[in-house]
Structure 1
Amino acid sequence: IFEEQFPAGQITVALLKSWHRRWLGNIYEWAGQERTVNISKGGFMFAPSTQLPKLIHEFDAKYLARYTPCTNMSEEQIIEAIAVTHVELILIHPFREGNGRLSRLLADVMAVQGGHRPLDYQSWEQNKAEYISAIHAGMSMDYGPMCYWVGTALRRD
């Protein structure tokens, strides 16, 4: 995805759509396009497809514009930035497939922009129920649980 240049500046929804298209375009003709169907996972309904244009615009303006690029941030600021954008992108779930992987790619890019290595997601996989609970906590704008998981993944050693 980063053949031309690593994204050092602000990340936008247009850039995320481009990554999604480049990554999954050989598999899905709709890669990089907002989903037009409602989807759920494990009994949890993601944002309705009719709300996606509004939610994606808000995600771009409210979260990506605020939290990227992750330069000149303290470790705690980077953790918060990654946690908030990760939760919000997962809750919106703009694509039919690949949302989790794309949100982890975004988290990795943000970490690298801030001078860190990509995150180690092993703790998320080993504690899947707690990770999902952290996503659900974000529905009420409680990002503390996800900050914990991002911090764990960022500070691995």
Structure 2
Amino acid sequence: MSRYNAIEDPLCYPGTHVLKNKLDLTDQSELDQFEQLMFLTRSEEPLPAGELDYEYYKAIHHHFFQDVYDWAGKPREIRTGKGDSWFCYPEFIEQEMVKIFAQLASENHLTLIEDPITFAKRAAYYVAEINAVHPFLEGNGRCQLTLLSILFEISGFPMDVEQIQADQFMAAMVASFYGNNGPLIQAIMALMA
């Protein structure tokens, strides 16, 4: 996985962009493999219980990455971005994430939507907003997809996970960061079984 731009990242091994981890792996490809193995292992387990809010979202991240990082489930404390684009500054993560989940709750977590297109548009909006905040140093995309699957499930829309195409989703997330949710809406529609 490509690492982000970061300013003075104390969570990386000195002179590298490799995140400090519980196995002290300093090779990025080895860390990527270990991280994915642990993620897939934890994916076989039930998600933690809780209300669908920011605290729960942090619990999901902790669930998936607790075997890899000491900071699993904790929001990042450094400024980071990809390319020339910066994600939400860490001092605003808490208020932005609380606001996003409060808005999602005000829409009954999308459970009252019966039209697939409307569901896809609203789900894309929330996934894009959370992506722009990017609350964690690593694992944001996997948590966003987990949230999306939860929204599918509680709203009663069938989700065909076999249709997830990583490259398509990544391109859609990049487009949404620049204000174009169209590709993300299409990607979500493609998941409807």
State TM-score, norm by structure 1: 0.79
The answer on 1:38 being equivalent to 2:79 is yes
State the identity %: 21
Q: Which amino acid aligns with 1:66?
A: S
Distance 1:118 1:29, change over 3 A: farther
Q: Which amino acid aligns with 1:125?
A: D
Displacement of 1:109:
1.2
Is contact 1:135-1:146 (8 Å) kept?
Answer: no
Displacement of 1:154:
2.7
Structure 2 distance, partners of 1:131, 1:57, is 21
Is contact 1:86-1:103 (8 Å) kept?
Answer: yes
Spell out, residue by residue over 1:109-130, the C-alpha distance to the aligned partner (whole angstroms, 9 max, x if none). Answer: 11122221254321x5147445
State TM-score, norm by structure 2: 0.65
Instruction: From 111, 125, 128, give the equivalent of 1:71.
Output: 111
Displacement of 1:145:
4.2
Q: Which residue of the partner structure matches residue 190 of structure 2?
A: 152
Q: Which residue of the partner structure matches residue 96 of structure 1?
A: 137
List gaps (5 residues or longer) in structure 1: none
Q: Secondary structure at the match of 1:154?
A: coil
Q: Which amino acid aligns with 1:133?
A: A
Q: Which has the larger radius of gyration?
A: 2
Q: Which residue of the partner structure matches residue 133 of structure 1?
A: 175
Q: Which residue of the partner structure matches residue 67 of structure 2?
A: 26
Displacement of 1:76:
2.2
Q: Which residue of the partner structure matches residue 125 of structure 2?
A: 84
Spell out, residue by residue over 1:22-53, the C-alpha distance to the aligned partner (whole angstroms, 9 max, x if none). Answer: 11111111111111011112332111111112
The number of residues matched between the two structures is 147
Distance 1:5 1:55, change over 3 A: closer
Q: Which amino acid aligns with 1:65?
A: A
Is contact 1:131-1:149 (8 Å) kept?
Answer: no
List gaps (5 residues or longer) in structure 2: 1-42
Q: Which amino acid aligns with 1:153?
A: L
Displacement of 1:144:
3.9
State which drifts further: 102-111 or 113-122. Answer: 113-122
Displacement of 1:136:
1.7
Aligned-pair RMSD on alpha carbons? Answer: 2.5
Structure having the larger proportion of residues in helix: 1
